[in-house]
């Protein structure tokens, strides 16, 4: 019997592998899926989540979001918390693209003002914002300047003219994680990051001009400054080569060190070390540094995109109405306090392809949104839609305050390319304006390669993890 057949349905959208399903399993594994998404659930993704439930110090449950798909060691869409005193930290369970995340910027523009010019606007953004594999930016950093970025995060970018001080009030952790250790970042990582700040990268990263198509919750939309027909900018990018190298370095270190600590790994890709060990603290410091690089990267990308739009339309900043709605991380590990077994404990929450969804009144929700809940930005594929939600109280009991991060892949990149060659790119993309340095990334990122984001968001909304506020329709997309 396969693992999928062993999943027990607990509720409409809740499926579980109880603790003890396999020897060594410490906690249940809980999947949040509709019937349609359950059909697409991969056996290997279940195996990866089950393996993670066997790691030392894992608490309560391993939670898996509706956008789940197979990742490196731990499934994308996975959430795992480990005790800070008795548990581990796992680089592969956080991910290679550390603090891959999303930024949403509001404007005072309306879609009917922008849509007729969208192709020219997207081409202008393509000229001004470096995107694609190997693309470098116009910001060249010495090692000492890089150290500043790794400590200050988005604040460094604002100090250097990329944005405004008030932006920092609308970023997760105010755009700078406090435990960054630039000295724990390798020479190779510094070299890879020295000329990539302010670049989009490739794969599923993008810059998109969007319009608010539908409002579901008027009160929350008002609090977030969102209205129907409004033009928004969405940025999806991360820590680029620097973050990838940090993950590579510490997976290698953890593989060796785990043996010394007597950790039995169910999968080498789940290589881990005790969080409070020397190696664990080195990785945590390096990961926070890479996350700060990503916050700075999105700060620069968002500012450059908004500035390009502003100049193209001949507007002042006031006329554009630039305002950062929110910016949050996807692939990250954070020390948080959560209720486990009727008591509050400090845990390391590993969110891989998952994002925070903290509820109203939570102290880590920015003051501007504390009465409504943390904004949760869920991008879809480039041909359909994205969604804006706000975190709800049930997220704290159901997922360590976490929601999904996107639609989730259905096809591999190779499969997507094959599909495009069979049916033709124009029939896939339709009328959407997509710009890129080459066609390869567009072929890999076609809408058909992803699950239906509307279905994914419906599950999160109906479970009460996060409440849907608005649907955002793409007008134009820049791919790497």
Q: Looking at the annotation, which residues are catalytic?
A: 405
Running DSSP on this structure, what letter comes out for residue 41?
-
Q: Copy the structure tokens of residue 79.
A: 């959430």
Q: Copy the structure tokens of residue 206.
A: 């993008």
Q: Which residues pair with 76 in a beta bridge?
A: 69
Running DSSP on this structure, what letter comes out for residue 218?
H
> What is the distance, to the nearest Å, from the Cα of residue 126 to the centroid of all Cα atoms in its chain?
23
Closest CA to 203 of 173, 160, 244, 162: 244
CA distances from 343 to 25, 200, 346 (A): 22, 42, 10
Alpha helices in 315-466 (DSSP H): 317-320, 394-399, 413-423, 425-429, 439-444, 453-463
- Find the length of the chain: 480
CA–CA dist 18, 61 (Å, integer): 9
Running DSSP on this structure, what letter comes out for residue 175?
G
CB 28 within 8 A of CB 16: yes
SS3 content of the chain, % helix, strand, coil (to 5): 40, 25, 35
Q: Which residues pair with 350 in a beta bridge?
A: 80, 333
């Amino acid at each position: 019997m396969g693992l999928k057949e062993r999943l027990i349905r607990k509720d409409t959208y809740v499926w579980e592998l109880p603790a003890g399903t396999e020897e060594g399993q410490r906690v249940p594994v809980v999947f949040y899926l509709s019937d349609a998404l359950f059909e697409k659930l991969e056996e290997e993704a279940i195996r990866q989540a089950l393996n993670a439930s066997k790691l030392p110090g894992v608490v309560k449950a391993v939670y898996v979001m509706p956008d789940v798909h197979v990742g490196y060691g731990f499934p994308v869409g996975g959430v795992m918390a480990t005790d800070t005193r008795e548990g581990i930290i796992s680089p592969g369970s956080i991910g290679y693209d550390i603090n891959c995340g999303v930024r949403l910027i509001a404007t005072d523009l309306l879609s009917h003002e922008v849509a007729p010019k969208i192709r020219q606007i997207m081409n202008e953004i393509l000229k001004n914002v470096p995107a694609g594999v190997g693309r470098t930016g116009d910001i060249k950093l010495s090692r000492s300047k890089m150290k500043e970025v790794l400590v200050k995060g988005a604040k460094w970018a604002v100090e250097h003219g990329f944005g405004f001080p008030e932006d920092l009030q609308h970023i997760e952790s105010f755009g700078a994680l406090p435990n960054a250790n630039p000295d724990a970042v390798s020479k190779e990582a510094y070299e890879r990051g020295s000329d990539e700040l302010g670049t989009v990268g490739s794969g599923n990263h993008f810059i998109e001009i969007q319009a608010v198509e539908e409002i579901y919750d008027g009160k929350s939309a008002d609090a977030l400054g969102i209205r129907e027909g409004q033009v928004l900018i969405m940025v999806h990018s991360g820590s680029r080569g620097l973050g990838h190298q940090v993950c590579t370095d510490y997976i290698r270190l953890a593989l060796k060190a785990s043996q010394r600590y007597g950790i039995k790994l169910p999968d080498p890709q789940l290589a881990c070390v005790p969080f409070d060990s020397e190696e664990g603290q080195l990785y945590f410091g390096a990961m926070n540094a890479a996350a700060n690089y990503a916050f700075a990267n999105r700060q620069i990308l968002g500012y450059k995109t908004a500035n390009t739009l502003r100049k193209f339309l001949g507007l002042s900043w006031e006329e554009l109405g630039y305002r950062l709605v929110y910016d949050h991380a996807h692939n990250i590990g954070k020390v948080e306090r959560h209720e486990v077994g009727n008591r509050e404990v400090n845990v390391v929450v590993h969110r891989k392809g998952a994002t925070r969804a903290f509820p109203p009144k939570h102290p880590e929700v920015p003051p501007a949104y504390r009465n409504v809940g943390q904004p949760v930005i869920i991008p879809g594929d480039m041909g359909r839609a994205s969604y804006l939600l706000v975190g709800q109280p049930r997220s704290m009991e159901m997922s360590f305050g976490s929601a999904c991060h996107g639609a989730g892949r259905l096809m591999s990149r190779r499969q997507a390319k094959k599909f495009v060659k069979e049916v033709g790119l124009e029939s896939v993309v339709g009328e959407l304006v997509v710009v890129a340095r080459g066609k390869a990334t567009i072929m890999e990122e076609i809408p058909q390669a992803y699950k239906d984001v509307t279905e994914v968001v419906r599950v999160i909304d109906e479970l009460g993890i996060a409440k849907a506020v608005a649907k955002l329709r793409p007008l134009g997309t820049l791919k790497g």
